[in-house]
Amino acid sequence: MKTLLVATTLALAAAANVYAASAAGPATQAAASQQRVLIDVRTAEEFADGHLQGAQLLPLDSIAQTIAARVPGKDTPIQLYCRSGRRSALALETLKALGYTRLQNLGGLEDASRSSQRPIVR
């Protein structure tokens, strides 16, 4: 009897998980495909000295020419950072003018590390 109760409970739990996964469906899949892109807009030398784990280097002076190749979807969430926050603010305005819509300035490297909870790789 105890075995039957355990088996029934496990079957119900599995069915609930299948239902929850199918109920989320396309919305969950769309969210997964909209992974945030973390962009460091500093120079290559600054990036080599230390950057956030998982960040891509797109220096401010070339971001307008290179962003489409790296991030083709204009509604992709993009987080930007630099040394102090000034260049990432300029990059945000540049990307906004190019039609990107989901932009966030994380500020300087240390602030970006804290707010994104990503370590600095040196």
pLDDT in tens, 5-57: 444 444 444 444 433 333 444 443 344 346 999 999 999 999 999 999 999 99
Q: Which of 37, 38, 67, 82 does the annotation list as catalytic?
A: 82
Strands 37-40 and 56-57: parallel
Model pTM greater than 0.95? no
Q: Has 82 been annotated as catalytic? A: yes
